[in-house]
Amino acid sequence: MKLRKITVHGTNKTRESFLHRILKPAFEAESLHEVIGLSRQAVLRMERFGIFEDVKIQLDSPKESWLQDRKDLVDLGMWVKEGSRIQLKTGTEAGNAEASMVPEILYTGPGHLQYYRLRRNQWSNGMADLF
């Protein structure tokens, strides 16, 4: 069984090239078991990036009439809900008779996580690659 196509519903902000890179390995499946396994791995990768709040998948036979007799092909439908890309967090730190407020801005985008934190009137930048 081969994966014929993947249709992703619910993406308004996510780049197609980003999704293509995540979903491409699923097309290498040779059996239904592999299609399911590689599709689940793609969902886990999508969830790990933190840009989707919810990812659901469904396998189905091709709907086109000229493909009705092809029992060796399957289509994958994905329904996603994109999450917020920017979060603002604040916190306090206290100790040794002093206290401070710590604001933090978190940006999650395809392929990376970037945060900025204000400490002693200076913004520090942290980046983490998720690949």
Across the range 46-66, mean pLDDT stands at 83
> Do 23 and 6 meet the contact criterion of CB atoms below 8 Å apart?
yes
> How far apart are alpha carbons 25 and 99 in whole angstroms?
50
- For the sheet containing 112-119, what is the strand order? 86-95, 98-109, 112-119, 122-129
Tell me the mean pLDDT in the region 79-100.
Answer: 73
**What does the pLDDT average to over 58-69?**
83
Q: Is the pLDDT of residue 89 over 70?
A: no
What are the pLDDT digits (tens) for 68-80? 778 888 899 999 8
All structural domains of the chain, each given as residue ranges with its CATH number in brackets, are 2-82 (3.10.20.310), 86-129 (no CATH)
Question: pLDDT at residue 44 above 50?
Answer: yes
- Nearest Cα neighbor of 73 from 82, 86, 83, 60 is 60
Taking only the tens place, the pLDDT of each residue in 115-124 is 555 555 544 4
- Do residues 38 and 26 lie in contact, with contact meaning Cβ atoms separated by under 8 Å? yes
Confirm whether pTM is higher than 0.75.
no
